[in-house]
Amino acid sequence: MSTVFEPDGGVASAQSATRLRDSFGRAITDLRLSVTDRCNYKCVYCRTGNEGAQYTELPIEDYVRMVRIMVSLGIEKVRLTGGEPLLRSGLVEMVADLARLRTAYRADGSRLEPGEHGEPLDIALTTNGHLLESQAAPLAAAGLSRVTVSMDAVDPETFARITRVPRSYERVLAGVHAAQAAGLGPVKINCVLLRGFNEAQIEPFAEFSRREGVIVRFIEFMPLEEPSAVPDARTWKPETVIRMDEILGRLNAWRPSCSVPAGLVELPPRAASETAKRYTFSDGVGEIGIVAPVSQPFCGHCSRVRITSDGSIRTCLFSQSDHDLYGEMLRGGTDEQLAAYIRRVVMRKEARHHIGEPGFEKPSRNMVHIGG
């Protein structure tokens, strides 16, 4: 069901005039919301292949209420994720509901006055793309702003070996093309590189970016996989990570064509909270981003908070615990009470993650059950 929302989310009266910040002064403007922890792929570095969903899903209108309250506190970007978000029925209607919300703060951080209109939210989706071909156009029409498609190879055989789903590459490529045709471009492609698995795909992905007009983002592998009983190639180890320096070295040595000299050209960040270092080639064709949470952590300007499919807030991917926002809702919390709860939780956001440090403890949930 669609609802018309007040520009300020309708909960301004009891809110303080200050936007959501954590105890380190970081403004929290980005929300990642998982709408299911089911997934139709079993990517080798993410899932064991034996486990299914582990958490419940909420009615779509409860997610929308959570987002509305978050927006009233200063959230401006919402990324829908999972699990695989396109498995969730009601997603198009949800995007339409989110598209009616308006930001509650000005660019300088001050709160909008009653009657003043905010901006539409930046609504993004992260998907494996398997079901995107048919859903791209309705999602775009509902108000989706952009889409990120996860692809860990551009070689169909390697792709199917990683996803453990036959003919998945062709499906996903059709999804990317449908997203471009629906006006959701430039499409971002997320690729996680693992040593011994898909590092041969670095240059082919650069070619893919140039040929397909997509932004390719290489993401360093983080210790967020489902636990395996036996340590194997898919279990996180420092040596499995293909680090930013190595990717840059390879791409700097690569020559796109006989008329284009080798060498990357750095692009400026789009925003202070940008997680990717951005590059193009000397002819300006193609874009490569590198997200390096392991070798060059960016926690100092983290602007994110997450809500899991069962309605818990996670203040960091590597948090040791969740905060049960849905429980507060079920206990009858008013919008004002929930907003106060969110503010308290955000004050407990961790300073940084501790990947690779002695004593590092794996987080209390794995990526597929958090929402990446």
Beta bridge partners of 139: none
Contact region for ligand SAM (CB under 6 A) — 18-26, 62-70, 222-230, 262-270?
222-230
Footprint on residues 130-149 left by ligand SAM (CB under 6 A): none
Q: Any contact of residue 150 with ligand SAM (CB under 6 A)?
A: yes
Footprint on residues 4-33 left by ligand SAM (CB under 6 A): none
Q: Any contact of residue 98 with ligand SAM (CB under 6 A)?
A: no
Q: Any contact of residue 363 with ligand SAM (CB under 6 A)?
A: no
Q: Any contact of residue 192 with ligand SAM (CB under 6 A)?
A: yes
Could you please report the per-residue DSSP string of 80-123?
EESS-GGGSTTHHHHHHHHHT-B--B-TTSPBPPTT---PBPEE
Distance (Å, rounded) from C-alpha 311 to C-alpha 55?
10
Q: Any contact of residue 103 with ligand SAM (CB under 6 A)?
A: no
Q: Residues 159, 208, 221, 341: which binds ligand SAM (CB under 6 A)? A: 221
Least Å distance, CB 319 to ligand SAM, is 15
Could you please report the per-residue DSSP string of 117-151?
--PBPEEEEEE-STTHHHHHHHHHHHT--EEEEE-
Q: Residues 8, 37, 76, 84: which binds ligand SAM (CB under 6 A)? A: 84
Q: Any contact of residue 218 with ligand SAM (CB under 6 A)?
A: no
Least Å distance, CB 332 to ligand SAM, is 32
Q: Any contact of residue 95 with ligand SAM (CB under 6 A)?
A: no
Least Å distance, CB 224 to ligand SAM, is 4
**Which residue type occupies 308?**
T
E strands of the chain, at which residues? 30-34, 77-81, 122-127, 146-150, 188-193, 215-220, 264-267, 276-281, 287-291, 304-307, 312-314, 323-324
Distance (Å, rounded) from C-alpha 10 to C-alpha 14?
10
Quick note: the x/- pattern for ligand SAM over 251-290, rule CB under 6 A, is ----------------------------------------
Q: Residues 11, 27, 39, 248: which binds ligand SAM (CB under 6 A)? A: 39
Q: Residues 132, 176, 219, 248: which binds ligand SAM (CB under 6 A)? A: 219
Contact region for ligand SAM (CB under 6 A) — 21-29, 90-98, 217-225, 319-327?
217-225
Least Å distance, CB 68 to ligand SAM, is 23
Strand order in the sheet with 30-34: 264-267, 276-281, 287-291, 215-220, 188-193, 146-150, 122-127, 77-81, 30-34, 304-307, 312-314, 323-324
Least Cα distance to 64 among 148, 143, 173 occurs for: 143
Beta bridge partners of 77: 30, 122
For residue 258 the two structure tokens come to 């006989």
For residue 46 the two structure tokens come to 């993410």
| Residue ranges that bind ligand SAM, judged by CB under 6 A | 39, 45-46, 81-82, 84, 126-128, 150, 190, 192, 219, 221-222, 224-225, 367-368, 372
